[in-house]
Homo-oligomer: A and B are copies of this chain.
Amino acid sequence: MRIGELAQRTGTTTRALRFYEDQGLLTARRSANGYREYDEDDLQLVKEILTLQTVGLTLEETRPFVDCLRSGHETGDSCASSIEVYRRKLEEADALLARLGGIRGELAAKLAGALARQAPDPCVVPGAPRP
């Protein structure tokens, strides 16, 4: 298949696919007229990349998975380096969750403080009919 079809079947854009090629993640045979030609393996590879993107991996981080698929494994995460990336990203996610949770708390506190200052009466819920 050509690039347009691959883009459509994977739900991405031709621009993205060419970009992946630039980054060395995707390679393409060329037909006589210079058009890129892809097969089912490429389809799987792109799907893998896109799936990994949705769970927060950068393109660089998908490289081990791509290499793993290229070296004949059935899944991209059959190799130790891929699993290592999973571990790292899991740690990153946990760290981010912790930070974000803290931030959420600070935000909530700031909001509460501002509301308290705005309406210093603690017994009346906002939306009082008469000032």
Query: By the criterion CB–CB under 8 Å, are B75 and A114 in contact?
Result: yes
Partner among B55, B86, B100 whose Cβ is within 8 Å of the Cβ of A93: B100
Question: Closest chain B residue to A113 by CB distance?
Answer: B77
Q: Taking each of A87, A90, A101, which has the highest tally of chain B beta carbons within 10 Å of its own beta carbon?
A: A90
Interface size on A, as a range, is: 20 to 34
Task: For the complex, give the distance between the alpha carbons of A78 and B115 in Å.
Answer: 8
Q: How many copies does the complex hold?
A: 2
Query: By the criterion CB–CB under 8 Å, are B110 and A77 in contact?
Result: yes
Query: By the criterion CB–CB under 8 Å, are B107 and A77 in contact?
Result: no
Query: What does the 1/0 interface line of A60-83 toward B look like (CB < 8 Å)?
Result: 000000000000000101100011
Asked if A1 CB lies within 8 Å of chain B CBs, one says: no
Q: Taking each of A77, A107, A117, which has the highest tally of chain B beta carbons within 10 Å of its own beta carbon?
A: A107
